[in-house]
Amino acid sequence: MRLSRALACVVVAATFSSVQAQAPASAPPAQKSLAATLGVAVFPSGGQSASQQSKDEGDCYNWSVQSTGSDPFQAQQQAAQAQQQAAQQQQQVDQATAGSGAKGAVRGAAAGAVVGAVAGDAGKGAAIGATAGVIAGRSRARGAKEQAAQQSAQQTQAANQASAQQTAAFKKGFAACLEGKKYTVKY
């Protein structure tokens, strides 16, 4: 009797292990709807099927793009391009101002040598002029970099604001269209 119970337990355990091994660990992730991608929650209050909702979302997307003149995906792309341009401009300024201290030193040394020659010691004048030139050159470069960084930040902020405004206008139109098709919409 004990042997048959033990054998039955082994059979049950083996069967359970076999079933567990065949079952998928988790369901594959569902593909996001167009509305979910846009950050809009849509509930089919009229009993619409998932395929009907997908079709309606596509129709309302196209309608909203036409009626508002803005496409949120294009607005995001334009904002990203503006950020990339700002970064490139900053990099160009960095390259242009590289070596500003050395350039200033050369100018300062030349001017200092002239002044030093008049005073009787061209070498000492050149050294003083070079030191002053390094400081002045680096200061100019720092100012140029700060100005470029400020302009880049302003351009990026303006692009992000424009993108946000266009997206908000689009979402209003998108929601209005879906509500007309008997969906509950929150964004």
Q: In this predicted model, what pLDDT tens digit does every residue of 104-153 receive, in sequence order?
A: 666 665 666 666 666 676 677 667 766 766 677 677 777 777 887 788 78
17 found inside a domain: no
Report field, pTM of the whole predicted structure over 0.85: no
Rounded to the nearest integer, the mean pLDDT of the chain is 76
13 found inside a domain: no
> Are the CB atoms for 96 and 177 separated by under 8 Å?
no
| Structure-block tokens of residue 115 | 């002044």
Closest CA to 179 of 66, 60, 32, 7: 60
Q: In this predicted model, what pLDDT tens digit does every residue of 165-187 receive, in sequence order?
A: 889 999 999 999 999 999 999 98
Number of domain units in the chain: 1
2 found inside a domain: no
Domain with 56, as residue range(s), is: 36-186
173 found inside a domain: yes
18 found inside a domain: no
Q: What is the mean pLDDT of residues 22-48?
A: 79
154 found inside a domain: yes
Assign residue 47 a region: left if phi > 0, alpha if psi is -120 to 50, beta otherwise?
A: left
135 found inside a domain: yes
